Amino acid sequence: MSNTVNRRYDFTYLFDVQDGNPNGDPDAGNLPRIDAETGMGLVTDVCLKRKIRNYVQIVKGNQKPHDIYVKEKAVLSRTQGEAYEDESVKAASDKSVKIVKGREYMCRNFFDIRTFGAVMSLKTNNCGQVRGPIQLVFGRSIEPVVTLEHSITRMAVATEEEAKKQKGDNRTMGRKYTIPYGLYRTHGFVSAHLAEQTGFTEDDLKLFWESLINMFEHDRSAARGLMTARGLYVFEHDSALGNAPAHTLFDRIEVTRANGDSDTPARSFADYQIQIDEQALPEGVKLHSFI
């Protein structure tokens, strides 16, 4: 059993997409998410967490203590019912104690709960709420992105009724939305204080880094295009409270156009360069580059 994480981490994560939709917006007909004022592309923290969960499911096979709470077609109250079948919860006579014991059970057995937290205060099988030690912000593209719309044709129809309407021309039209290229940057934080509360361990943290590095390799689809992890830069503090403000560390990772060429649209990762200022890091801070 590995030790609970006892120090703070802050990290910068870079990933890109080519000819795909990294995160469709349901409020905009599934177009790629865009900052309306700047034209910068956006990818939500929820989207990234979904890919991390999926990777852990593949690697750990839904086995405890690395089971996934929020997974496809899950009935959350039914999942929380497992906690209420545990002897520690059954033995608690007081409702508030049952909630505490249920929350402890869920943290022990579900990777995403002890990593990201969860709201489990349902009417049945109430397990309270958990604030996870790892928090992510939205990914934002380095430069504005352009959304393209493509007409596509399916050489078939879905129903007999459609076939009659098409009068023998059994084709249906559709739309596909992509951006030609975008390099995205997001930031994350690991709290030692919250890790102690959820039981988030060094092994869990190692699996989390592994997920960020490899998750796109197991999440391929035509709609998402070519997505690739391009950089993971982790600032490790030697204390639980940390040794420097996170934003001053993030400023040390600079993404600029290669050769200063910003007149033409970026179309590959080779159009950018990453500059890392490792000089005179704050005392007690180490920088790890994983990609």
pLDDT at 118 over 70: yes
Closest CA relative to residue 184, chosen from 219, 136, 149: 136
Task: Identify the residue whose tokens are 């940057």.
Answer: 185
pLDDT at 162 over 80: no
Cis ω for the linkage preceding 22 (within 30 of 0):
no
What's the pLDDT at 160?
80
Continuous H helices in 110-168 = 111-116, 160-166
Task: Identify the residue whose tokens are 């830069």.
Answer: 233
pLDDT per residue over 1-41, tens digit each?
689 999 999 999 999 999 999 999 999 999 999 999 999 99
For the chain, the domains span 9-149+176-289
CA distance from start to end of the chain? 27
What's the pLDDT at 1?
60
pLDDT at 85 over 80: yes
The pTM assigned to this predicted structure is: 0.94
Mean pLDDT value across residues 174-182: 94
Give the bridge partners for 273, in sequence order.
Answer: 256
What's the pLDDT at 227?
98
Spatial contact of 233 and 12, defined as CB atoms under 8 Å apart = yes
Q: Residue 83 and residue 260: Cα distance in Å, rounded?
A: 57
Mean pLDDT value across residues 178-189: 98
